[in-house]
């Protein structure tokens, strides 16, 4: 072989390598790992990692392209890494972690690691939507459309697709607007998909997750106030809601053959007109009744109030018990303040139900804790002042900064590192996280560059602020760097494992100060993202 031929071969090899490398256009957001120490460090510092192992530089081309798109969306919530088991360094790493993608017909292995350890092999559909959903909630249930038994349901992903469906489809459509976390939706989905199979070709049964804020306009348009909401369309026009939430697949199929609007609900009989053992008072009878009954509990209510409806049976039962007792310690009365407004205004009733105790016609106590038959009777047998109301988190002294719409931006832009907890006071998972979050804040209270802050999303204009910060459930933890959102925190929520590392700063781990020069910011302090109190307005 002469020198010219050797040069040609060398040139062709270089060109071939260049072509092979060019076929793999990897996003800079995908971590390329080949060293075992770097791999262990990645798992140690990231809590949610999806790793693509390939048998060669080119065997994962299609997956790398897809994962590059996924990485853009899950930035800050999950990490995607790539290990090429075909090169010398990558081969050593794959051997150490006992992964052999060459044994797979596809030449790839896709494995997920959670909190530093192997979690599961990714075996859900290799689609953009499924992968994004998985990395946002690795322990959550698969998407509805991933269920093979839901193949006959038309799954709508965007408002644009929804409008297209209405425009082009000649067959009648029953649309199920749902939220992934909704229990009733989960119960009805198998029934709905069975009905879709039974009516295939004649009708279209479609499903659409409209929980994200981007669909607020659509929800308003079709009066979606809860999940699921079923809307029936013919030739693109909305005609009826379907409201049989206990339906079978046959019920749905039969209704589609003869769709009718929901039957108007019979007007609810006012509580005061039922055979109730409670004394129902008016503006005119109120004072006279209390003069005649020296020991009385009065429930101020509104007919539409859900908590009042829940309390009514307990209140009725307690009244019946007391009325039968010849030595009864008191009586129970009620006032509908939507009708008898003068009494409501006089006692400054601002919420429902409000229960007040009157002794010899004089108001003594407001009793928010009396809700059950047993508690009501127990109180009347020995009337005592209620315990003082528990202080709100905001009222309790701590190192947590409580922010609102008016000072949120200004406060955070001064802090190099800030973790913000968006919460609702009624949310049980938030209540569980509060002591850990407060303790973590106390650990760093001396560092002016670090802030732990909280926003009550139910308070005033904070509702709008929480929507702006993409809060879809409670609690949500966002990390900010000088006021700019950097990532969502998805780690554990127990303070004993708090890790905070900043450039050339002391670090706390398990309550001890450490030294580090590594620039990394990680809170492994609170509960996984699957435990959220969903919805802005649900008490």
The pLDDT assigned to 3 comes to 55
pLDDT band (50, 70, 90) for residue 23? very low
pLDDT band (50, 70, 90) for residue 20? very low
Fold of 25-136: Glutaredoxin (3.40.30)
The pLDDT assigned to 27 comes to 82
| Active-site annotation holds for 466 | no
| Active-site annotation holds for 305 | yes
HSE (side-chain half, CA atoms, 13 Å) at 176: 29
Q: Pick 151 or 503 by higher pLDDT.
A: 151
Domain 394-534, architecture per CATH: 3-Layer(aba) Sandwich (3.40)
| Active-site annotation holds for 182 | yes
The answer on pLDDT for 179 being more than 80 is yes
Exactly one of 85, 94, 185, 427 is catalytic; which is it?
185
Tens digit of each residue's pLDDT (9 = 90 or more) over 524-537: 333 233 334 443 33
As annotated, the residues of the chain forming the CATH 3.40.30.10 domain(s) are 25-136, 146-252, 277-381, 394-534
Exactly one of 308, 427, 457, 466 is catalytic; which is it?
308
CA–CA dist 337, 218 (Å, integer): 35
3-class DSSP string for 89-137 = HHHHHHHHCCCCHHHCCCCEEEEEEECCEEEEECCCCCCHHHHHHHHHC
| Active-site annotation holds for 308 | yes
The answer on pLDDT for 14 being more than 90 is no
Average pLDDT in the 92-117 region? 92
User: Which superfamily does CATH assign the domain made up of 146-252 to?
Assistant: Glutaredoxin (3.40.30.10)
Average pLDDT in the 445-466 region? 91
Exactly one of 94, 182, 427, 457 is catalytic; which is it?
182
CATH code of the region 277-381: 3.40.30.10
| Least-confidence region, from 211-215, 233-237, 495-499 | 495-499
Average pLDDT in the 217-233 region? 94
**How many CB atoms lie under 10 A from the CB of residue 536?**
15
The answer on pLDDT for 7 being more than 60 is no
Structure tokens at 230: 């079923």
In the block, tokens 């607020």 appear at 216
| Least-confidence region, from 108-112, 373-377, 409-413, 510-514 | 510-514
Tens digit of each residue's pLDDT (9 = 90 or more) over 113-139: 998 899 999 999 999 989 998 998 888
CA–CA dist 307, 318 (Å, integer): 17
3-class DSSP string for 40-94 = HHHHHHCCEEEEEEECCCCCCHHHHHHHHHHHHHHCCCCEEEEEECCCHHHHHHH
Sequential DSSP letters for 409-463: HHHHTT-SEEEEEEE-TT-HHHHHHHHHHHHHHHHTTT-TTEEEEEEETTSTTHH
The answer on pLDDT for 499 being more than 80 is no
Q: What is the pTM of this model?
A: 0.51
pLDDT band (50, 70, 90) for residue 379? very high
Tens digit of each residue's pLDDT (9 = 90 or more) over 212-222: 888 999 999 99
């Amino acid at each position: 072989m002469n020198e010219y031929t050797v040069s040609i071969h060398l040139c062709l090899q270089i060109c071939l390598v260049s072509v092979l490398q060019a076929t793999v256009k990897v996003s800079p957001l995908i971590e390329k790992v080949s060293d075992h120490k770097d791999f262990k460090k990645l798992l140690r510092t990231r809590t949610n990692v999806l790793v693509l192992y390939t048998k060669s530089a080119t065997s994962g081309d299609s997956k790398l392209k897809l994962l590059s798109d996924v990485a853009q969306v899950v930035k800050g919530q999950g990490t995607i890494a790539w290990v090429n088991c075909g090169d010398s360094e990558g081969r050593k790493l794959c051997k150490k972690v006992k992964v052999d993608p060459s044994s797979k017909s596809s030449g790839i292995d896709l494995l997920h690691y959670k909190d530093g350890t192997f979690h599961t092999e990714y075996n859900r559909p290799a689609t953009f939507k499924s992968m994004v959903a998985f990395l946002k909630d690795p322990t959550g249930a698969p998407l509805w459309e991933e269920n093979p038994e839901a193949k006959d349901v038309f799954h709508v992903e965007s408002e644009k697709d929804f409008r297209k469906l209405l425009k082009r489809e000649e067959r009648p459509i029953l649309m199920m607007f749902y939220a992934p976390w909704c229990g009733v939706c989960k119960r009805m989905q198998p029934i709905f998909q069975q009905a879709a199979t039974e009516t295939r070709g004649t009708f279209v049964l479609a499903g659409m997750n409209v929980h994200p804020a981007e669909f607020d306009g659509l929800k308003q348009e079709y009066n979606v106030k809860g999940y699921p909401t079923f809307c029936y369309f013919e030739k693109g026009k909305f005609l009826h809601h379907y409201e049989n939430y206990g339906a079978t697949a046959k019920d749905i199929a039969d209704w589609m053959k003869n769709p009718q609007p929901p039957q108007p609900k019979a007007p609810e009989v006012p509580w005061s007109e039922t055979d109730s053992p409670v004394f129902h008072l008016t503006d005119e009878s109120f004072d006279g009744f209390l003069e005649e009954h020296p020991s009385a509990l009065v429930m101020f209510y509104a007919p539409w109030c859900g908590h009042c409806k829940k309390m009514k049976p307990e209140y009725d039962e307690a009244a019946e018990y007391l009325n039968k007792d010849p030595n009864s310690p008191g009586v129970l009365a009620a006032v509908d303040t939507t009708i008898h407004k003068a009494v409501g205004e006089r006692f400054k009733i601002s919420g429902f139900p409000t229960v007040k105790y009157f002794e010899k016609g004089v108001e003594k106590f407001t009793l928010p804790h009396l809700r059950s038959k047993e508690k009501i009777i127990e109180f009347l047998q020995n009337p005592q002042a209620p315990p003082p109301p528990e202080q709100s988190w905001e009222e309790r002294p701590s190192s947590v900064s409580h922010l609102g719409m008016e000072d949120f931006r200004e406060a955070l832009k001064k802090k190099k590192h800030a973790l913000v907890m968006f919460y609702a006071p009624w949310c049980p998972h938030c209540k569980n996280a509060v002591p850990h979050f407060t303790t973590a804040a106390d650990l760093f209270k001396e560092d002016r560059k670090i802030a732990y802050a909280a926003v009550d999303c139910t308070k005033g204009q904070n509702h709008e602020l929480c929507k702006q910060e993409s809060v879809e459930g409670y609690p949500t933890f966002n990390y900010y760097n000088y006021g700019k959102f950097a990532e969502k925190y998805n780690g554990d929520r127990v303070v004993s494992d708090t890790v905070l590392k900043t450039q050339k700063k002391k670090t706390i781990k398990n309550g001890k100060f450490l030294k580090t020069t590594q620039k990394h910011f990680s809170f492994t302090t609170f509960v996984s993202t699957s435990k959220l109190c969903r919805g802005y307005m649900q008490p």
